[in-house]
């Protein structure tokens, strides 16, 4: 059994002893702590009741976890709007739609079926800051609980926000509904038996797209590993070729990550989901004479976004890894677009959260304007490959020694210390990013270069240096 408590929320496998799995006791304690943090974060005038939105993906434990979370919120005197089956971005937007004080998303994202999690939102529908998350964690571990009396329990009601979310996507200025309809696209969608099977076909239908769904029944019985990586999308790749479709679309169980398959069955590659959408929005911004051409991604994402941004005369910014860090940087620089290399598209004109629906609508708009196949579109972008490795250590104290030493060893390169150590080899247009795990005594190592072989060799080079440091 596994339970991971961090400033970004609580996640774990269902069952087991308290504190060693995601149990009812852990869920209640964390929900209570969230309520207390909400009260300190946002004092309510006139003693009005707080309101929190709760949405969930389709995983098997979802209803059980939802009952515990909703019941605890009510026991804390908080009104609850139950979204039922709802994507993560739908729940985020529901917080704004409802003018709520916060939200809790029940999803373990791309983790397998035995996992679940609580993801915590503020009154803007964005994830809590690191400081707020740390406060929730401290309160949950204190064991100091005091619930409301019977006359002060929160009310509970249900509302479906799916269509309002779709309406908001279609209303975005750069989503060209008429151009997409005129293109007559055929798209295959793999929703891995979760909530994407509800919202994605509905969105595509509104865009005039012929949609062929596979694994779209929200049973929670994931048909394959739910992380939208090429090795998990064999069925989708085969369906795209068989159906002679223009595009394959894969989403994870909570629909905040997005991966595409080209018409020939080859992966578009998750890293390029954000790159392609950013390229389109930068085109639009330049055409309209807009001056705000800032983009953001995290330090472990492809350099291609920087290249595309600078080609448009824009400025690229890198953030620490983690969605809240990306959105914080986006707010700071008033970014046009941002996200993560895992297929996460964040478009502030919609809302500041990863949203696969926004990503699909903008991607299809780009494709309709460019009038080319998906594989041809992919070929227009700078081509890089990322290798992912890690160093397993028996002593976590060695992590800091390695990172500190690498800063000195590579001091003549462009070294970024925002999050771990990122070494940019500018002359070669390559980089290596090393950062420690928050949950294990390991260093994660991402390296990018023009080819897979070169990226792997670059990672191996730095790993060898790191191993020499600790000999």
Residue 293 confidence class, pLDDT cut points 50, 70, 90 = very high
Does 301 score more than 90 pLDDT? yes
Does 37 score more than 90 pLDDT? yes
> At how many degrees (to 10) do helices 162-170 and 196-206 cross?
40
State the catalytic residue, choosing from 8, 87, 109, 250. Answer: 109
C-alpha distances out from residue 332 to 285, 291, 417, Å:
19, 16, 18
For the segment 257-269, the average pLDDT, to the nearest whole number, is 97
Query: pLDDT tens-digit profile of 90-114?
Result: 999 999 999 999 999 999 999 999 9
Please give the residue that has the higher pLDDT: either 149 or 441: 149
Does 321 score more than 80 pLDDT? yes
Among 6-20, 186-200, 436-450, top mean pLDDT goes to 186-200
For the segment 317-329, the average pLDDT, to the nearest whole number, is 95
Query: pLDDT tens-digit profile of 57-94?
Result: 999 999 999 999 999 999 999 999 999 999 999 999 99
For the segment 291-311, the average pLDDT, to the nearest whole number, is 96
Residue 8 confidence class, pLDDT cut points 50, 70, 90 = confident
For the segment 11-27, the average pLDDT, to the nearest whole number, is 93
Write down the mean pLDDT value for the chain.
95
pLDDT of residue 5: 84
Does 48 score more than 90 pLDDT? no
Does 46 score more than 70 pLDDT? no
pLDDT of residue 143: 82
pLDDT of residue 144: 86
Please give the residue that has the higher pLDDT: either 398 or 213: 213
Active site residue 168: no
pLDDT of residue 45: 64
Query: pLDDT tens-digit profile of 187-212?
Result: 999 999 999 999 999 999 999 999 99
Question: Which residue is associated with the tokens 């729940």?
Answer: 91
pLDDT of residue 343: 93
Residue 218 confidence class, pLDDT cut points 50, 70, 90 = very high
Query: pLDDT tens-digit profile of 365-405?
Result: 999 999 999 999 999 999 999 999 999 887 878 898 999 99
Cα–Cα dist 246/374, whole Å: 7
Residue 177 confidence class, pLDDT cut points 50, 70, 90 = very high
For the segment 143-157, the average pLDDT, to the nearest whole number, is 94
pLDDT of residue 22: 95
Does 145 score more than 80 pLDDT? yes
For the record, the structure tokens of 463 come out as: 């790993």
pLDDT of residue 163: 98
For the segment 279-300, the average pLDDT, to the nearest whole number, is 95
For the segment 435-460, the average pLDDT, to the nearest whole number, is 91
Q: Identify the CA nearest to 328 among candidates 70, 130, 468.
A: 130
Question: What is the pTM (predicted TM-score) of this model?
Answer: 0.95
Sign of the dihedral through C-alpha 19, 22, 23, 29: positive
Does 261 score more than 80 pLDDT? yes
- Whether the Cβ atoms of residue 187 and residue 246 lie closer than 8 Å to each other: yes
Residue 185 confidence class, pLDDT cut points 50, 70, 90 = very high
């Amino acid at each position: 059994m596994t339970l991971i408590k961090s400033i970004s929320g609580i996640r774990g496998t269902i069952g087991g002893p308290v504190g060693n799995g995601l149990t009812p006791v852990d869920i209640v304690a964390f929900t209570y702590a969230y309520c207390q943090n909400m009260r300190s974060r946002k004092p309510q005038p006139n003693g009005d009741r707080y309101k929190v939105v709760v949405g969930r993906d389709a995983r098997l434990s979802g209803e059980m976890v939802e009952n515990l979370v909703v019941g605890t919120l009510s026991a804390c005197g908080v009104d609850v709007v139950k979204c039922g089956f709802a994507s993560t971005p739908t729940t985020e937007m529901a917080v704004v739609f409802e003018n709520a004080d916060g939200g809790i998303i029940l999803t373990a994202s791309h983790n397998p079926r035995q996992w679940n999690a609580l993801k915590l939102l503020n009154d803007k529908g964005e994830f809590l800051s690191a400081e707020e998350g740390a406060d929730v964690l401290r309160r949950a571990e204190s064991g100091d609980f005091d619930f409301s009396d019977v006359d002060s329990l929160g009310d509970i009601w249900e509302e479906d926000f799916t269509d309002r979310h779709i309406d908001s996507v279609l209303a975005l200025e750069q989503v060209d509904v008429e151009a997409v309809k005129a293109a007559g696209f055929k798209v295959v969608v793999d929703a891995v038996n979760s909530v994407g099977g509800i919202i994605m076909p509905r969105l595509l239908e509104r865009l005039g797209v012929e949609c062929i769904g596979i694994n779209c029944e929200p049973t929670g019985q994931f048909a394959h590993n739910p992380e939208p990586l090429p090795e998990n999308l064999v069925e989708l790749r085969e369906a795209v070729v068989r159906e002679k479709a223009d595009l394959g679309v894969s989403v994870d169980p909570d629909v905040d990550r997005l991966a595409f398959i080209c018409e020939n069955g080859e992966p578009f590659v998750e890293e390029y989901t954000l790159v392609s959408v950013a390229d389109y929005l930068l085109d639009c911004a330049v055409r309209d004479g807009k001056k705000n051409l800032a983009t953001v991604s995290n330090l472990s994402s492809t350099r291609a976004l920087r290249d595309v941004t600078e080609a448009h005369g824009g400025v690229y910014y890198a953030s620490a890894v983690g969605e809240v860090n990306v959105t914080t940087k986006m707010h700071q620089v008033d970014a046009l677009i941002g996200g993560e290399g895992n297929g996460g598209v964040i478009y502030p004109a919609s809302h500041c959260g990863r949203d696969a629906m926004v990503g699909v609508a903008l991607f299809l708009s780009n494709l309709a304007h460019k009038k080319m196949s998906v594989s041809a579109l992919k070929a227009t972008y700078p081509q890089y490959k990322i290798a992912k490795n890690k160093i397993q250590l028996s002593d976590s104290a060695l992590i800091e020694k390695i990172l500190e030493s690498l800063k000195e060893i590579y001091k003549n390169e462009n070294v970024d210390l925002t999050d771990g150590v990122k070494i940019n080899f500018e002359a070669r247009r390559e980089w290596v990013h090393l950062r420690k795990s928050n949950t294990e005594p390991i260093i994660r190592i991402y390296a990018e270069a023009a080819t897979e072989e070169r990226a792997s060799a670059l990672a191996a080079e730095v790993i060898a240096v790191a191993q020499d440091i600790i000999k």
